[in-house]
Structure 1
Amino acid sequence: MTIVFTLLLSLGSLLFIVTLHELGHFCVAKWSGAYVYEFALGFGPRLLTFKGKETWFSIRLLPLGGFVSIAMEAVDPPKGREEEIVPENRKMEALPTWKRSLFILAGPLVNLGTAILIVTTVFMATLAKPNDMGFYGQRLASTGIAYKLIKEQEGQEDIDDQGYILLGYEVYDTKGELRDKAEFGTAEQLPIYSNIVYKFIDNFQKDIYQEQKDLRIKFNYLNFDYQNHKVKSSQVSSGKWTQLSKPDDWQIQGKNTTVGIMAPTRYFLTRQEAYRAGWRQVGQDSLGLLKAFGQIFKGNIHALSGPVGLVKGSSQTTNVTTPASFLLGMGAISANLFMFNFLPFPPLDGYKFCEAWWEKARKKEINSKVKIGITAVGVSFMLLLFIIVTIKDLIGG
């Protein structure tokens, strides 16, 4: 039941964000005087329809998007609406370019505003950003080697899982010979989490961790006050030795993770700092989509997720972390939709915007057959990409 609930909640959240996007288009279309045939949530056959005097509001079978249907010269009326008489001045082509542009941009801009509102509100309310890979130090899993070693050294039953920063480690074999060491940072230049992880992963691939069955490790660490961003003591402590009996103990990823390091929580000192961080986070989330698309041209389809992947990822977040993390996930999805729809590729809003101003500059409309052909090619490509990404998301690739 929990899995079903989280999946439904995640799907509902995605539909909520899509609805806001389409409402942006719809409101500007009505304001500009365009003739709106339909406001639809989902694709495919209609499940439920409310027929207004002009606009039909419908819910369709596939809850993976939505659309606003407006009267256009180049597009036939929807089925069942062929007999309606639409004034020429209310068709899309008759609108001034600036109104058409505002209509096109309204959906993505609503997504951008939604993302900024959600993320800045969460950051300002909690004064924290969970799982920040770009912040100092790390959190320590209570079942991990690092946590147990530091707890023993500090002589406490339990320690703050984010009260210490790992600065490095040393590894000796049973003969007392130094086999490996690494330095992540110093008391003056604190290491960020991503640097710690990468060094762990790189170093622990060495042959010695596969050859040796008995290794000893000690971590060098620093006591740190995360909430105030202050080092409690500049003295670097060295933990006692802990015995490692099998190579699996060195895994950073996978089921046998025992080093036990996770991304830390970043705490903000002021509401103003949290607000600025919210804007930066939305910018990073938006650019993240462009990077994912860039990976496609390198043959890495795994970097991109479709609606199924977004729902799966969001449901996992809902199930294992806090409501704040789930809301931040919603903000990230909204930022992704903003950037996705801004791509200048047919039939996305970014392409329609460029098309409108290209016609304005040429003072001549693009031939309707050319428009239809370009859109058909774009839709075919997007549909193929959607199918591939959906299959990848379903099989967990």
Structure 2
Amino acid sequence: MSEVSGGMVVLAFFVGIIVMLLLITIHELGHLVVAKIAKAYVYEFSIGFGPRIFVFKGKETWVSIRAFPLGGYCSIASDKTDPPSDREDVEVPDERKLDYIARWKKMFFILAGPLMNLSVALLLFTSIFAAIGEKRNDMTYFGSTYTQEGIAAKAIMEKENKNQKIDINYIGQDYVIWGWKMTSGSTTIFDNICSVADQDKCNEKINDLDNQKAVDYKKTVYSFINNLPLAKGKDDVKIQFVYKKVDKYSGVALTGYETGIATNPVEFKAGQSVGIAAPNRLYKTTGEAYGAGWGETFKASISILEALGNVFTGKFSNLVGPVGVAKQTATLLQSADQFFIYVATISANLFILNLIFIPPLDGYRLLENFIEMIIRKELPTKYKVVVNTAGAILFLLLFVIITIKDFII
């Protein structure tokens, strides 16, 4: 078993690296296509960095695969940079150099890369959501996914089976926990089963019994996480659950279905799990699922901004590099939809990351180009070199820190 697990980790590492390489290649492909449309002279389209492993020498543009699969680039003729070492003999007319191309065309050239990443994210999110009709493991949705042998499912199954309402072998997420009570012998340790009338007696309630709308999973699970440790050191600990059956799309309690109270408390041992996990957000129609894909793309895009903001407080935990991506891939390879949603999330992150106004990212290049459009002249070359070099050094330092963190954690 350990050999299989080790093999999976190695496989995931290579898959993760390939995912990053493909997304960056797609990004650079966007630059290439617009550069060609603008009639700029492209020396080389490179997949990876370092020494060449393979090169296809086209009539004008060479396509190469290089040794280190951690990025890529699109080399375009310019007076400000030297041509590749083996292309010095190429005579490029000024009108085909990046320096002389209209600035409005440069704007589309810069935007093309991030927009390719946005397109990949949108395609994956909308296609997957529309195909499976749900978003898996959504903590902002109501209900829970039950472990059928967990104490919560057992309590509900026992109650419902007596009423002959469900198959005893299945508890779905339409059964929503409304509250719970934990006792030790005749002593109540914790109780949040309450109505609006007696809420002053209630501890960190999940939901009022009088309410007909379920709360999200996060509120439910944290009620257990925060309070189950109270059982530590206690004897004869038991838990009683209160639940309601709800409409699986809206979370509203079903009319005519009484609040379920598991009359027989379930035995609980300190450290034991309740047996619930995040639910799946369900969509009624394919159109609704498709629209949710757009929303998820937006959420995934801006999540990178929060992670970058945490860097200023010394928190790097939410940022990962190629190594981190490879390690996280290991937990997703067994589920195709979750794997491709993860790929979509990375692509959405790359879309926003590249639009940040920090050199040498595309966002800064876009800002620089916009300023030059306004002042109708080019910014000093010395200024550009200093600013872009400083930005590149800072990003390289951040990359090194994140990579070290990914190896350690």
Q: Tell me if TM exceeds 0.5.
A: yes
Note closer, same or farther for the CA distance 1:335–1:42 as it changes in structure 2 (3 Å cut): same
Alpha-carbon deviations, 1:282-325, whole Å to 9, x = none? 00000111111111112111111112212222331123xx3111
Letter of the aligned partner of 1:375 in structure 2? Answer: N
Written as runs of structure 1 = structure 2, the 5 A alignment for 1:166-181 is 166-181=177-192
Instruction: Give, in whole Å, the separation in 1 of the partners of 2:151 and 2:398.
Output: 43
Closer/same/farther in 2, CA of residues 126 and 230 from structure 1, 3 Å limit: farther
Equivalent residue pairs, number: 383
1:59 aligns with 2:65: yes
CA distance in 1, matches of 2:114, 2:66: 22
Asked if 1 retains the 8 angstrom alpha-carbon contact of 2:133 and 2:289, the reply is yes
2:225 is aligned to 201
Match for residue 158 of structure 1? 169
> Once superposed, which parts of structure 1, at least 4 consecutive aligned residues long, lie more than 6 Å away?
none
Q: 1:383 aligns with which of 383, 396, 399?
A: 396
AA matched with 2:285: T
Does residue 1:344 correspond to 2:368, yes or no? no
**Deviations along 1:327-357, whole A, 9 cap, x unmatched?**
2111111111101111111111001000111
Counterpart secondary structure, 1:342: coil
How many Å separate the matches in 1 of 2:371 and 2:257? 61
What's the counterpart of residue 261 of structure 2? 238
User: TM-score, normalised on structure 2?
Assistant: 0.88
Distance in 2 (CA, whole Å) between partners of 1:292 and 1:88 is 42
**TM-fit CA distance, 1:203:** 3.1
TM superposition shift of 1:148: 2.4
1:146-168 Cα shifts (integer Å, max 9, x gaps): 12222233335412342311111
8 Å CA contact 1:173–1:179 kept in 2: the answer is no
1:300 matched to which residue of 2? Answer: 315
1:37-76 matches, cutoff 5 A: 37-76=43-82
Q: How many angstroms apart in 1 are the aligned matches of 2:317 and 2:286?
A: 37
Say what the alpha-carbon RMSD is for the aligned residues.
1.9
Structure 1 residue 69 displacement after superposition: 1.0
Residue 372 of structure 2: aligned partner: 359
Q: After the TM superposition, which of the residue ranges 13-22 and 376-385 deviates more from structure 2?
A: 13-22
Structure 1 unaligned runs (5+)? 250-257
The equivalent position to 1:331 in structure 2, one of 341, 344, 362, is 344
**Paired amino acid for 2:396:** L
Identify the residue that residue 281 of structure 1 maps to in structure 2.
Answer: 296
Q: How far 1:172 moved relative to its partner?
A: 1.4
2:279 aligned to which of 229, 239, 264: 264
Question: Do the aligned residues in 1 keep the contact of 2:183 with 2:237 (CA within 8 Å)?
Answer: yes
| Matched residue, 1:216 | 238
2-side partners of 1:161 and 1:390: how far apart?
Answer: 41
Aligned residues of 1:228 and 1:269 also touching (Cα < 8 A): no
TM-score, normalization by structure 1: 0.91
User: 1:138 deviation in Å?
Assistant: 1.3
Q: Determine the structure 1 residue equivalent to 2:196.
A: none
1:226 equivalent in structure 2: 248
String of CA shifts for 1:71-93, please: whole Å, max 9, x gaps: 12222222222232221111111
SS class of match (2:73) = strand
